[in-house]
Structure 1
């Protein structure tokens, strides 16, 4: 993989404070097209803060966020979407009482000029997205509450593709999933990379991280504390996470 390509998304010396607490201190992060970058670290390392800055939920106090090498301001989730950045947080933000298609288009429903829902077109697009990600559900009209945890995570990932993003951030996508469901979700992560997207994978599970990542970035106490190829030893990465390195 070429390292001289301009990153799709980059954080340059990003700082974020909450009162007297420094959640991020000069953090750097890059993700390129067709690359899965894992962001790992203990609780409180700053991983979720990075995700929220990229998603437009939080604004950095210092430093730069760049898209295609150009500084940008991501002032809201809507701004992030316009810039081609989509984030799936742990709570998924899905509605149990709605079906798969309704969840995929939740808040972005397609309508006619008269205001009627374009149901057939939304169903068609949903099938196309699910097929692209190799997501298997009984039907695009299956209620979300009847799906497994892995299928729900897959729907949340599929939902990001409605906005045609270039970068997808996944916050602990395999948490609380079975081994089989985890394998399915990791397949979807690989499909995002195969589609040429940049992926930031936030996870505590080093087995998952090493299975799909091209590069592993370690945060410790809000600071960068190591950058590793996915082939690096588990011990070396763990040492960076715990501060033993």
Structure 2
């Protein structure tokens, strides 16, 4: 009797082992239906897009923060405004601190040229510089946010798109059971494997995007604070001719 039980258990175990092989990624690819392909392609596009912006933002933010102190000190370390402006003009196109300072210097020059005109009567020098600095800081801040909307979208929607693939796979398993009346491992292993893989793929797409969004959001807030600090110093300098620092006598720079 024991021999009969062992003999019948062995084929069943072998059959289950064969059924488990149908739960792999290869089976998933070869048994996609149109909706399955749509879900899979959307997740692939989301994953590649999010990783592109993760890498691009990491490089850009690293370069901005790495150059920030050098650019700021390079501006204040020059003995004349003209020399400082020449240093700023030599900075790379995507360097934000130099662009903020150059916009302030351009605003000063424009206001001086309009002296005695309606512009000078409408806006004082201080107000005109403040307006230019606000626009420059807003523009450079917006550039730093490139890709964050996509990362937030991927992080919030990818799990649900993967869940759609999961529900569709389970639905296929139930349809197969109802049509064949066979609830064995061989009948449901493929669709269930498809469902599990789509869930995992959705999470694999979403988790890096969420972590990257939170990291870049925090990093950008620190950079925004540096923007505001530098802009305030620039406003004081270009409006009064001296850089005003807390607890320190004004630093006058020759023009």
If the TM-score is normalised by the length of the shorter chain, which range does it land in? under 0.3
Bigger radius of gyration among the two: 2
TM normalised by structure 2 equals 0.26
Larger helix proportion of the pair: 2
The normalised TM-score by structure 1 is 0.27
